[in-house]
Amino acid sequence: MTQIAAIIGGGVIGGGWVARFLLMGWDVRVFDPDPEAERKVSEVLDNARRSLPGLSDVALPDEGTLTYHETIAETVAGADWIQESVPERLELKHKVYKTLQEHCEKGAIIGSSTSGFKPSELQQGALSPAQIVVTHPFNPVYLLPLIELVPSAENTADVIEKAKNILTSVGMYPLHVRAEIDAHIADRFLEAVWREALWMIKDGIATTEEIDDAIRYGFGLRWAQMGLFETYRIAGGEAGMRHFIEQFGPCLSWPWTKLMDVPELTEELIDLIADQSDAQSGHHSIRDLERIRDNNLVTILRGLKAQDYGAGKLLVSQDKQMNLLPQALDDIADFGTEVVTVHRAVPLDWTDYNGHMNEARYLQAFGDGTDHLMKIIGCDADYIASGVSYFTAETHIRHIDEVLAGAKIKVVTQVIAGEGKKLHLFHRMLEGDRLIATGEHMLIHVSLETRKACVPDERVAIPLQKLAKAHAALPRPDGVGAAVGVR
């Protein structure tokens, strides 16, 4: 049954929550009295639809249904998750909670996007304090996985666990903050860096661009995949963290920082920061900057995903949850049809200067299809570890039509021949019913010890023969045996 998320407040953060839930298959209801809310959310969704699917190597669930409502009562009725993202005014939040708790389900989770208020402050005067927790995200919510989940003593273990499970199910990482603290964990760090940056600008030490360069070209990239302490552990060398602390700990007492003293935000300082920021980035529109940001984040996250590390490990886990492709021959209901071996979106980093999928990525997609077909017939990691595998001997790709970033593609595979040492496959790449490309591949079964051709044993030979026999009844696909040249 489709789950329902109610989003109260459709600004930058609320719009990001809409995108995250909607693109993960939830029905989403939105309440925001701003007459421009629907337009703003729509623009955020355009960016999310373009970038989020590219994080996954399997297709996302079918998009949920998005509706806008005139009242909070209509919005929250029947909702499983309610996300409050209204302005940071405590009296306004209390007013919103009173209204929504009068109409929402008793078992619904009410999460607040607040970056500063503690849950106990939010729960004051609430009809059901145990429903309300802090679920503080980071922008863009549809790409960044961290959610600071902050409960109070009012929240039961069951509520906390339910919140964790829901957040995890939509690809997010709930960081359980065990103690209430103003600004939670992450914003405390950000505030410290922000204060120091303000002083550097005021004192003429650095410009906004120079400060951003220090982060994005240096420690920001390290922090993106290892955080603070793991990074410093490596900095300690073979001697580890203890050596690092012993070597650099005394620096903490040196008069480097002004973190305990905040510069007055005078009009002069505000103008200085604003002017420098305009000079740095003013030639880009906000939408352009968002797309640049999204491109960079997708690239970083996909890189981390390839290493199964940090935030990339979450993406690998999420793909496994969503992957509905057949994993073995027994998972195929009808052997007499082509097998779906790839089902995914085209990510941003698969496109070229023409704006469509790079020709090398066609080969990657077809190669992924071949790998998956091998797994289905039993040539899996255990089989390969036993010392035998398939090597590709010849490939022929026909580029029929172009495909753009964000398009959902699938590869369907037909076994043309599967006897003895040879495995002859024909792939078709489709976007819906539209044929994008075909790939024909001849593989040879080999011994990994001798690197010579050999016959597969029954672990692969029997399922392959069964599939090949069924596929022999299919029409011979157009393009089999085609050569490069004028037709």
Annotated binding site: 9-14
Which amino acid makes up residue 30? V
- How far apart are the C-alpha atoms of 410 and 427, rounded to whole Å? 10
Q: Are 8 and 14 in contact (CB under 8 A)?
A: yes
Using a 10 angstrom Cβ sphere, with 0-12 exposed, 13-18 middle and 19 or more buried, the burial of residue 35 is: exposed
Residue with tokens 């407040």: 9
- How far apart are the C-alpha atoms of 261 and 283, rounded to whole Å? 34
- How far apart are the C-alpha atoms of 409 and 362, rounded to whole Å? 11
Q: Phi, psi at residue 6, to the nearest 5°? A: -110, 125
Neighbours of 201 (CB within 10 A): 18
Which tokens sit at 383? 């089989």
- HSE (side-chain half, CA atoms, 13 Å) at 425: 33
- How far apart are the C-alpha atoms of 16 and 140, rounded to whole Å? 6
Q: Are 193 and 220 in contact (CB under 8 A)?
A: no
Give bridge partners of residue 444 from the DSSP assignment.
Answer: 391, 422
- How far apart are the C-alpha atoms of 47 and 297, rounded to whole Å? 13
Comparing CA positions, the residue from 142, 105, 133, 128 lying closest to residue 19 is 142
Using DSSP's 3-state secondary structure scheme, residue 67 falls into: strand
- How far apart are the C-alpha atoms of 140 and 138, rounded to whole Å? 6
Query: Residues comprising the binding site for NAD(+)?
Result: 9-14
Comparing CA positions, the residue from 67, 121, 116 lying closest to residue 97 is 121
- HSE (side-chain half, CA atoms, 13 Å) at 195: 13
Q: How far is CA 97 from the centre of its chain?
A: 30
